[in-house]
């Protein structure tokens, strides 16, 4: 948080009475198009397809330079900091954007979360963990998929979506021994069968 609090920083300038002007390069800057009705992803998250919803949200928040708000790298400043109010507005805007991307039942269950970081972690904890039954459903769908009357492009996209969902649901430990490449080769071979 230190770079945001220095008045010599090129992305801010200190005004009288402990106020600051936040420049567009600063992650706390809110563009005129940012508002509480901003929708970042096309489809609201309803509990299904967490991986693609999450990916869309991360891309959207990255485009707005707001990833630091959800991942905690831009922490809440002290109440006396000139960056406190800009951080609060930015945090509220990110919360509103996340809430706008959730179906009613999920939105109501997280409505009173006070920080975007906690909100993101709560959703991640609920829906982002690998789930054995979900992995089974994906594998079952992969084994039963057929082209049928679909054109080749539609068929390919359906398969790719399932493979991507499966890859997202499996978390691997960091590898230092070099066997990761062999395992990835095995996964690629499985996709061919």
Residue in 109, 97, 36 with CA at minimum distance from that of residue 66: 97
Q: Please state whether beta strands 12-15 and 19-22 pair in parallel, antiparallel, or not at all (unpaired).
A: antiparallel
Q: At residue 22, does pLDDT exceed 90?
A: no
pLDDT of residue 37: 85
pLDDT confidence of 178, banded at 50, 70, 90? Answer: confident
**Alpha helices by DSSP H, the chain:** 2-5, 50-63, 67-71, 84-100, 104-110, 116-127, 132-144, 152-169, 180-191
Contact 100, 38 (CB under 8 A): yes
How large a percentage of the chain has pLDDT more than 90?
Answer: 41
Distance, in Å, from the CA atom of 144 to the CA atom of 148, rounded to the nearest integer, reads: 11
Higher pLDDT, 181 or 28: 28
Distance, in Å, from the CA atom of 66 to the CA atom of 119, rounded to the nearest integer, reads: 14
Q: At residue 14, does pLDDT exceed 60?
A: no
- How confident is the model over 131-151, as a mean pLDDT? 84
Residue in 19, 26, 30, 29 with CA at minimum distance from that of residue 4: 26
Lowest mean pLDDT: which of 6-15, 133-142, 171-180? 6-15
- How confident is the model over 9-16, as a mean pLDDT? 49
Q: Tokens 């963990």: give the residue.
A: 129
Q: Tokens 């770079």: give the residue.
A: 3
Q: At residue 176, does pLDDT exceed 90?
A: no
Q: Which two tokens stand for residue 61?
A: 């928040």
pLDDT of residue 19: 66
Q: Which two tokens stand for residue 166?
A: 């499966």
pLDDT by residue (tens digit) across 36-88?
888 889 899 998 888 889 999 999 999 999 999 999 999 999 999 999 999 99
Number of neighbouring beta carbons within 10 Å of residue 107: 15
Ramachandran angles phi, psi of 45, nearest 5°: -75, 125
Higher pLDDT, 161 or 70: 70
Distance, in Å, from the CA atom of 27 to the CA atom of 93, rounded to the nearest integer, reads: 12
pLDDT by residue (tens digit) across 101-118?
999 999 999 999 999 999
Distance, in Å, from the CA atom of 98 to the CA atom of 123, rounded to the nearest integer, reads: 10
How large a percentage of the chain has pLDDT more than 70?
Answer: 84
- Computed over every residue of the chain, the mean pLDDT equals 83
């Amino acid at each position: 948080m230190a770079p945001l609090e220095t008045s010599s920083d090129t992305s801010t300038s200190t005004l009288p009475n402990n106020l600051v002007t936040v420049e567009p390069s600063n992650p706390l800057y809110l563009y005129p198009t940012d508002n509480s009705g901003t929708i970042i992803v096309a489809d609201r998250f309803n509990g299904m397809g967490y991986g693609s919803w999450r990916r869309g949200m991360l891309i959207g928040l990255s485009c707005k330079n707001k990833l630091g708000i959800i991942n905690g790298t831009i922490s809440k400043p002290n109440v006396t900091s000139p960056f406190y109010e800009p951080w609060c507005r930015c945090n509220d805007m990110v919360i509103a954007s996340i809430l706008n991307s959730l179906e009613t039942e999920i939105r109501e269950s997280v409505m009173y979360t006070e920080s975007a970081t906690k909100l993101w972690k709560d959703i991640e904890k609920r829906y982002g963990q690998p789930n054995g039954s979900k992995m089974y459903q994906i594998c079952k769908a992969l084994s039963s998929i057929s082209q049928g009357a679909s054109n080749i492009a539609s068929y390919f996209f359906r398969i790719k979506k399932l493979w991507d969902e499966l890859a997202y649901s499996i978390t691997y430990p960091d590898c230092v021994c070099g066997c990761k490449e062999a395992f990835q080769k095995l996964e690629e071979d499985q996709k061919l069968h």
